[in-house]
Structure 1
Amino acid sequence: MISRRDLKLIAALALALAALGGCEETVPDRPAVESARIELARGDFLAAQVFLDRALDEGTPREELAALLGEAALLAGNLQVAREWLAPGEFSEQTRARGFRLLGRLEMAEGNLPAAGAAFDQSYRVRPDNAELWVDIGRLRYRGGEQLEAIEAAERALAIDPDNGEALRFRGQLARDAEGLIKGAELLGRALESQPDNIDLRVEYAATLGDAGRADEALQVLREEDGSAAATPRGLFVQAVIAARGGQFRLSRNLLTKSGLQRDDLASAHLLSAIIDLQKGNYASAAQALDRLYTRQPDNARIRDLLAFALSRDGGERELVYRFATTASSGSGSAYLRTLVGRAYEALGNRERAAMFLDLAAIGQANLSVLPSMTPYELLAISGSGNGGGLETRDYVRSAIAGREAVAAVRRARDFAKRFPGSADAQAILGDAEFARGNKRAAREAYARSARVRRPWPLALRLAGAQDSPESARELLEDYVRDNPMNGEAAAILADALAAEGDWERAIRLLDHSMGLGMVRVPWVLAARSVGALQLDDRETALDFALAAHDLQPMNPLAISALIAALPEREEAARRELEAKLRSLGTG
């Protein structure tokens, strides 16, 4: 832990070096307290500490400096020293609002949310119209499960000061989750304009641009000013992700290693490392990393499917079927996981089981899939006193839906949503329960409330599925794809909706875009692209895509149908054979 004495020595050295570097410049003769405020605004707690120690030595009363000294300690991550200055609440009249606001931040950092709320209340009594206080209140509400109320707090902050950097940043973070990457990036960019020296904000803005597919802009943002943001661990990680997306896996590995974030045990860094290993053919190493991640995040379908893929490539067919056959056969199993399990059974010589899973993969799945709970429904029902937390309620509802106990699921979900009306998770759970019961209107309303806070792709897909008309569903999908242009699955499903309306030109553009984002090995996407080519009278392209879809999944009805349509007239025998296969699947 860095002590106050250590901070003083380091800060003095830093200030001396700064003086050596800029000895030819004229430094304004400001009071020490004013200079400390300027340095704190820049995020330079070391320089601020020097000026604050100077002010103490000059006899400035402690109550004038307590808030500033506490803020410097908070920025340094020294919570113990911060508490020494902030907890007594001995602030001057001019610094009282700031001091209690910082005390609230300290309590939040230590996980004491009620105490944080009490400190913010003290600050509010002194200065209610403070934008940064409302940002802190919003963050407290968000952490406390009152996400809808957090949005209201962010909007209150911007109403007070529309150009406040912290308010814009918080609103941008909220918008990124609920309104998409483009809107989030716009607000974060505005925040950076007001705080160009904020390196953390610069990296966050660059990461959001990168996730939105604007890699060149992201790199430019990192390299602006003095370029120091690009050299930070998270700045290097953002560049590593961009390099991987561009197929430069060696560069990505070098940047990831240089960041040191794997040593810090950051989950996203381990995931990127595993993806690089998969691309380089290091399947055993990838499987080990993904196994550790899956243990931490058992509901993460992406990690699950990547782990299954790694096992399939590393000769781990027995482990693959042992761990994932049950999940693959359930409603939560993706078509990709079912295919991997089927191929693993083929490799083990069990053709009957292989055929079952490959048929399941070909059939597809409903939009609303239920992730099974690890706790049996009967035990959850016994413990379900109605006062369970979010995770227990989620598991109960999942198990009840899976066990066709929709009434029990709705009862528990409604109770949970009533107790936590501002929780996005509570509203999403309620939407699932209402959807399973067949009440699409109630499901739609609950999903919409949840989407005001967070709109991940699974929720967006559920919300689209709960609409009353195909047109409404398509409009929602269009909004999502516009705001999240790097989601290949969303682009493909929107293409399917446009194709159903006869808009094949837009559908084909979206299908090509989705295949560039990783959907090139999804049979129904290839089949749809084949049909699109036929609509434009491009029979050669149609045949190529139909053959690719059929090669990936020979029992997929869509792939079979596309190939039948794309075959040249002279291939009559092959057509009859395919038609017979389609009839055997009960879809011909």
Structure 2
Amino acid sequence: MRRLIVFALCIGAFAVALLAFRSVIANRTDPQAARAALQRSQAYLAASNASAARSQAFQAVKADPQLGEAHLALARAALALDDGVAAEASLRRALDTGVNASRTHALMAHAVLLQGDPRRALTEANKALAGNDPADRLYALRVRTRAYTAGGNLAAAQQSALTATRLAPQSADAWAELGRFRFNAGDIAGAIAASAKAVDLDRGNTDALVLRGELVRTQYGLVAALPWFEAALKRDPYRHSTLIQYAATLGDAGRTTDMLAATRRAMEVRPRSLQAMYLQAVLAARAQNFDLASDLLERAGTGVSQLPGGLLLGGSIDIAERRYERAIEKLRGLVSLQPMNITARRLLATALLQSDASKNGIDVLRPVVARGDADAYALTLAGRGYERIGDRVTAARFLDRAAYPAQRGSTWFSADDALPQLSAAVSKAAPDAPDATIPLLRGLIDRGERDAALVRARDIARRNSGAPAAHLLVGDTLMLLGRPGDAVAPYKDAASIRFDGPTMLRLVEALDRSDQRQQASTTLALFLSQNPTDLTALRLSASWQAAAGDFDAAIDSLEAVRLRIGNRDAALLAQLALAYAGAGEPARAVQYAEAAYVIAPNNPAVAGATGWTLAQSGDSDGGIELLKKAVGMAPRHPVLRWQLAQAYAQASRTGDARAEALTALNLPGFTDRGAAEALLAKLK
């Protein structure tokens, strides 16, 4: 036993000695290895690979904790990755090792700015500007640009950005900073020019590539932007902010599998990435997995869930899960932030009606249903709301509008105030503030001062030539004046800067109403090539494809929409029925038409589509009865009259066919005149 105890003690002593030796070896500094890792970190940072630069800087600090340059390198890499807390900690360690404080002011300014303290950032930046190092001064000017922007002093921010480009005209970082400032300030055209200059100067600059991707996404579309984000990720595959931008763009472009992979890569870099959780919540909601979507949004925290996108997503999830009070709370906040957000108003009204707050729901919908192009869903909601409060006359008016198969032209949100109040609102806000200026222009036009309204709109566009909203203002004014041909040019100017959905729809409408249908079709096709999942564009494209006789393409477009929104949209199902009928698939057409009719039997478009598909499938009597019902509900709709005429002709009811064809020819908006005249000649 004594021998065993002695042997065990010897083994224990040996283990302690071994551990002590390993501890000494682990803590031993290696200046040569630290210098080598530092050089690699600096090379990676120069190559715009901040993730690899940070990894090598960690190795340098680990090899020699007293090497101040290593801590500075770690701080620079952390700043490039937008980690202000880690950067400040590294800077303080660098100071503890004896690094001169004058070398840290510009970096510290950036670090504290990332932590949300623009005032302190300006103080540190000014210290750097007082020094003699040109690189530090350039860095400080870039930080001042961001700090002044955060504080709302756009004039000072612009001056700092321009000074940086004059100080270093060949610096891609300086031009990228100017481009970012202009982008945030709404000068999209100026931002495009600055970002292009930055990329020309350094095609490997990650910040410039990401900015270029964001601007290409705005200017041209989603698909065109993807190569720019991919180029940035080739430089730095694990840069979190780039991965988030890339994932969001992939998702909007319909590439959900790739989007999920990008968010997972982002979470490898930051396991608690709030942006990645939000994007995954969006994916889950689109897949109807609301429990997972709600859990992910909750894990993302209030910093994300209280942003407009988070409020809209959260409200949608709550409505789907019948948590109406929670939905109302979120959506009210969103409508107060974005009063012209029609989607938010529709969702809020839905939640209010489900909570027996019909009057409040009607109030929320009032600015939406006042528009001539109000959608059937909003009109139906308003009608149901009036039914619940006992106003059946008003309810019937809105339900009739919802059932009518065509919409009137669009108008703006407008105020009922007199011109003096509207002018005061503009003066109080800003001379170019759209929210106040649009109602003022509408008031001027309503009072007959059309020239004054147009002059005002053009003056705003002249002073803000880089802002697409200013050009849209001119186009909207011209459309309101009934001059769609003249509106094309300002809409094109806006589209050349920002080609988004609202701009596309305005331009397409102006081209179509000025008899430039081919250009309108080309514009729509170009938009869809870049935004293949845009539901509004897909439905508009399907209508034009069907009108041109390309029913197979129309079916593809409409089925893509149905896949996204489900089978409860009667108008969509009716469109599909007509497309399948045109493509020579009557059985499938009847299936869709009957499904639409079950949902909305009193909608004349649905009744007409059902009647037409029945007639095309051989049931002439049933088809004629439903077409007569549709014409009775919408007697001045030329397409329904023309469909009824053709159904009568197929049933050999010559007199009735001639009467309906003549009526269709005499109705405004009828476009199939050649076929109608040929039918009349055949029926003589």
TM (norm. structure 2) is 0.76
SS at match of 1:466: helix
CA pair 65-244 structure 1, distance change in 2 beyond 3 A: same
Name 1:68's counterpart in structure 2. 107
Q: Which moved more, 1:423-432 or 1:344-353?
A: 344-353
- Tell me the amino acid that sits aligned with residue 379 of structure 1: Q
Shift of residue 512 of structure 1?
Answer: 0.6
Instruction: Give the gaps of 5 or more residues in structure 2.
Output: 1-54, 642-684
Does the 8 Å CA contact 1:495/1:511 hold for their aligned counterparts? yes
Shift of residue 429 of structure 1?
Answer: 0.9
Who wins on radius of gyration, i.e. which is larger? 2
Does the 8 Å CA contact 1:487/1:517 hold for their aligned counterparts? no
- 1:504 lines up with 2:551 in the alignment: yes
Q: 2:524 aligns with which of 468, 472, 477?
A: 477
Deviation track 1:265-317 (CA, whole Å, cap 9, x = no partner) reads: 22222221111111112233323322232222211000111122223333333
- 1:68-467 pair list within 5 angstroms: 68-88=107-127, 89-91=129-131, 92-224=133-265, 227-229=268-270, 231-261=272-302, 265-325=306-366, 327-331=368-372, 333-363=374-404, 364-366=406-408, 368-373=410-415, 375-377=417-419, 379-381=421-423, 387-400=431-444, 406-467=450-511
- Tell me the amino acid that sits aligned with residue 245 of structure 2: E
Name 1:561's counterpart in structure 2. 608
Cα distance in structure 2, aligned partners of 1:153 and 1:24: 37
Does the 8 Å CA contact 2:612/2:623 hold for their aligned counterparts? no
- Tell me the amino acid that sits aligned with residue 544 of structure 1: Q
Q: Which moved more, 1:326-335 or 1:337-346?
A: 326-335
Shift of residue 188 of structure 1?
Answer: 2.1
Does the 8 Å CA contact 2:403/2:603 hold for their aligned counterparts? yes
Shift of residue 326 of structure 1?
Answer: 6.3
* Greater RCO, CA 8 A, separation 6+: 1
Does the 8 Å CA contact 2:528/2:538 hold for their aligned counterparts? yes
Does the 8 Å CA contact 1:329/1:338 hold for their aligned counterparts? no
Does the 8 Å CA contact 2:444/2:453 hold for their aligned counterparts? yes
Does the 8 Å CA contact 2:109/2:125 hold for their aligned counterparts? yes
- Tell me the amino acid that sits aligned with residue 523 of structure 2: L
Shift of residue 557 of structure 1?
Answer: 3.5
Cα distance in structure 1, aligned partners of 2:60 and 2:432: 64
Does the 8 Å CA contact 2:162/2:178 hold for their aligned counterparts? no
Does the 8 Å CA contact 2:176/2:195 hold for their aligned counterparts? yes
Cα distance in structure 1, aligned partners of 2:332 and 2:79: 43
Cα distance in structure 1, aligned partners of 2:86 and 2:570: 59
TM (norm. structure 1) is 0.88
Name 1:9's counterpart in structure 2. none
Cα distance in structure 2, aligned partners of 1:398 and 1:555: 35
Q: Which moved more, 1:38-47 or 1:309-318?
A: 38-47
Does the 8 Å CA contact 1:430/1:446 hold for their aligned counterparts? yes
Cα distance in structure 1, aligned partners of 2:180 and 2:402: 43
SS at match of 1:87: helix
Deviation track 1:57-107 (CA, whole Å, cap 9, x = no partner) reads: 555444333222322333333434422321232231342222222222222
Cα distance in structure 1, aligned partners of 2:519 and 2:431: 36
Cα distance in structure 2, aligned partners of 1:566 and 1:238: 42
Alpha-carbon RMSD: 3.1
Q: 1:31 aligns with which of 62, 66, 69?
A: 69
- 1:487 lines up with 2:534 in the alignment: yes
Does the 8 Å CA contact 1:526/1:545 hold for their aligned counterparts? yes
SS at match of 2:356: coil
Does the 8 Å CA contact 1:274/1:285 hold for their aligned counterparts? yes
SS at match of 1:368: coil
Identical-residue share of aligned pairs (%)? 30
Does the 8 Å CA contact 2:607/2:629 hold for their aligned counterparts? no
SS at match of 1:213: coil
- Tell me the amino acid that sits aligned with residue 575 of structure 1: I
Shift of residue 337 of structure 1?
Answer: 0.9
SS at match of 2:302: coil
Name 1:10's counterpart in structure 2. none
Q: Which moved more, 1:439-448 or 1:61-70?
A: 61-70
